């Protein structure tokens, strides 16, 4: 029974753990788990959410056969930290992986989803992007992208595994899917349930579409511009003014396909030229105004982003088809999510990192035949700290130490319980390539309060009247009581999660490396 000493949501999860997880289900009853995890996939580019820039019919199949979570968020919108949270169910300060750039290797010996499931008898595998600068722990099988700072290349990536390094030929989404289906065929032959973490690189920068999308490329097609593409941030916080995320200033020639990467085969180069060469010639011979130039870059960016999503979606369809045709779907939980959202031209920006809705909100779809009502939705506030607890709950496995997250299974019941919750966010990666200030904040049912603590700046947004984080209400008359309440609740969250008052030290040479990398990227 809830006694007020902890959030009601935590009490619900604890009760569920006692009821469902203290006695593990038999091996025949335990579900298989396939977690499909993409990179930088904004909700606005998933057609299951409506009003999408791109059709994703195969990802949508998961929503149609299960539940769509409409308010799912991450606690640190950057690739590696988000992946560490998926594995641990803990915020960055507790799992030790704060930043892509200076955290060091992820400690896989701590409690993770994979080693708990492995210890409970699951066959476990991770295939695709890893981006944690370590060898995966808790996985019977792993093949992870190895090249380019573990980002990988879209064409002809290398994979690292216990057998060594493999230089593969082909498109990355196709290769990751080939390897995943091959492992599933092997796992199906076993007598134990399995957990597959099927990790896509797509649609991470530099958004290079697959072969079919290159063949279908339409240079004259136009996609809708966001209303804020030309927004002037001059009257906003210093944090926003100083961020290096503007499409017009910080996209490279490789980003907008004015130059071609060096990893392509002759056949792949021919496809690239077929798609982009004529448009490049027209651009380079034109005398564009700054406004026209931004519009051209936006179209190249958003169209290649959308096309790479299509390439990934097709491969996700292949894997779902295999699960269906093999009969595995009858007892398999399938989840789809992304490590964070992405700016698709909003504020004139690309990239992620911010607590803004387009950056910290992610798609979250979950199907489990016979357990989740097809086509259902949930508007509960949920977070990536909840992924591991949810899957462990379904598998009948109790964590040895409490996690920050809670199981989401109560939300898919016929009569879900009351769900009251505030979400905590904390971004640490500064100095960093995009110059985004460190910040933490709270997201409630209606409001968002953000503190840029390096600058001593605050932002307050009313997400009912301003769902796109455009109007900073902090310090405005009439919001004093709301602000005071949010500050109190924010401090309560920091106490609840035991967030240190000081951040970890960044190596002294990191800023020099960032500046050197900036110069290299702009030269490319």
Angle subtended at Cα 319 by Cα 316 and Cα 320, rounded to the nearest 5 degrees: 85
- Residue 448 sits in a domain whose CATH number is 3.30.1120.10
306 falls within a domain: yes
**Does residue 62 contact residue 324 with C-beta atoms inside 8 Å?**
no
Of 184, 99, 65, 83, give the one whose Cα is nearest residue 136.
Answer: 83
Q: How many CB atoms lie within 10 A of CB 220?
A: 6
Residue the block writes with tokens 């909700």: 43
Q: Are residues 409 and 431 in the same domain?
A: no
Residue the block writes with tokens 């380079």: 284
Q: Are residues 453 and 382 in the same domain?
A: no
Q: Are residues 328 and 450 in the same domain?
A: no
Expressed as residue numbers, the domain containing 330 is: 29-208+301-414
**Does residue 394 contact residue 335 with C-beta atoms inside 8 Å?**
no
Of 344, 379, 414, at which residue does a domain stop?
414
* CA separation for the pair 154, 129 (Å, rounded): 11
224 falls within a domain: no
* CB-count burial class (<10 Å; 0-12, 13-18, 19+) for 462: middle
Q: Are residues 365 and 436 in the same domain?
A: no
What is the number of structural domains in the chain? 2
Q: Are residues 431 and 480 in the same domain?
A: yes
For each of the chain's 524 residues, which pLDDT tens digit applies? 233 333 334 333 333 333 333 333 344 589 999 999 999 999 999 999 998 999 999 999 999 999 999 999 999 999 999 999 999 999 999 999 999 888 889 999 999 999 999 999 999 999 999 999 999 999 999 999 997 778 899 999 999 999 999 999 999 999 999 999 999 999 999 999 999 999 999 999 999 999 999 999 999 999 999 999 999 999 999 999 999 999 999 999 999 999 998 889 999 999 999 999 999 999 999 999 999 999 999 999 999 999 999 999 999 999 999 999 999 999 999 999 999 999 999 999 999 999 999 999 999 999 999 999 999 999 999 999 999 999 999 999 999 999 999 999 999 998 899 999 999 999 999 988 899 999 999 999 999 999 999 999 999 999 999 999 999 999 999 999 999 999 999 999 999 999 999 999 887 666 656 556 655 655 55
- Residue 408 sits in a domain whose CATH number is 3.40.720.10
Dump the DSSP string for 250-306.
H--TTTTTSS--S---HHHHHHHHHHHHHHHHHHHT----HHHHHHHHHHHHHHHHH
């Amino acid at each position: 029974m809830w006694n007020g000493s902890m959030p009601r949501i935590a009490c619900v999860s604890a009760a569920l753990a006692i009821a469902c997880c203290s006695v593990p289900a038999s091996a025949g009853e335990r579900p298989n788990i396939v977690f499909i995890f993409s990179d930088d996939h904004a909700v606005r580019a998933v057609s299951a959410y409506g009003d999408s820039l791109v059709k994703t019919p195969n990802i949508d199949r998961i929503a149609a056969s299960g539940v769509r979570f409409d308010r799912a968020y991450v606690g640190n919108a950057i690739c590696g930290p988000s992946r560490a949270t998926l594995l641990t169910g803990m915020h960055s300060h507790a799992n030790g992986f704060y930043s892509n750039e200076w955290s060091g290797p992820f400690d896989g010996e701590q409690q993770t989803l994979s080693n708990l499931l492995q210890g409970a008898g699951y066959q476990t595998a991770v295939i695709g992007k890893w981006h944690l600068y370590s060898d995966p722990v808790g996985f019977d099988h792993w093949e992870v992208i190895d090249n380019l700072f573990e980002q990988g290349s879209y064409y002809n990536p290398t994979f690292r595994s216990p057998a060594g390094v493999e230089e593969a030929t082909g498109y990355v989404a196709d290769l990751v899917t080939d390897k995943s289906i091959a492992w599933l065929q092997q796992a199906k032959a076993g007598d134990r349930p399995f957990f597959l973490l099927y990790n896509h690189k797509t649609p991470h920068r530099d958004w290079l579409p697959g072969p079919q999308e290159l063949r279908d490329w339409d240079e004259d097609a136009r996609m809708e511009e966001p209303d804020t593409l030309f927004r002037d941030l001059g009257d906003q916080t210093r944090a926003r003014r100083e961020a290096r995320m503007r499409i017009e200033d910080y996209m490279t020639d490789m980003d907008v396909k004015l130059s071609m990467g060096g990893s392509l085969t002759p056949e792949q180069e021919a496809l690239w030229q077929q798609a982009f060469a004529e448009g490049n010639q027209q651009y380079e011979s034109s005398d564009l105004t700054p406004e026209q130039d931004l519009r051209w870059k936006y179209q190249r960016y958003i169209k290649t982003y959308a096309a790479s999503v299509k390439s990934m979606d097709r491969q996700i369809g292949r894997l779902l088809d295999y699960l269906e045709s093999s009969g595995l779907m009858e007892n398999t939980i399938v989840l789809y999510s992304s490590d964070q959202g992405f700016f698709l031209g909003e504020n004139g920006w690309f990239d992620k990192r911010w607590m803004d809705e387009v950056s910290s909100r992610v798609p979250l779809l979950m199907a489990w035949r016979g357990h989740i009502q097809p086509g259902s939705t949930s508007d509960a506030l949920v977070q990536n700290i909840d992924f591991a607890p949810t899957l462990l709950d379904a598998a009948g496995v109790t964590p040895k130490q409490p996690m920050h997250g809670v199981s989401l299974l109560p939300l898919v019941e016929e009569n879900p319980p009351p769900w009251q919750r505030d979400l905590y966010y904390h971004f640490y990666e500064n100095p960093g390539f995009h110059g985004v200030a460190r910040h933490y904040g709270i997201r409630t049912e209606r409001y968002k309060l953000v503190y840029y603590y390096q600058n001593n700046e605050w932002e307050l947004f009313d997400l009912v009247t301003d769902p796109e984080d455009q109007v900073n209400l902090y310090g405005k008359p009439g919001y004093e009581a709301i602000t005071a309440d949010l500050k109190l609740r924010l401090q309560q969250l920091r106490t609840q999660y035991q967030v240190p008052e000081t951040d970890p030290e960044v190596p002294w040479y990191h800023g020099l490396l960032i500046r050197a990398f900036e110069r290299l990227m702009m030269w490319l």
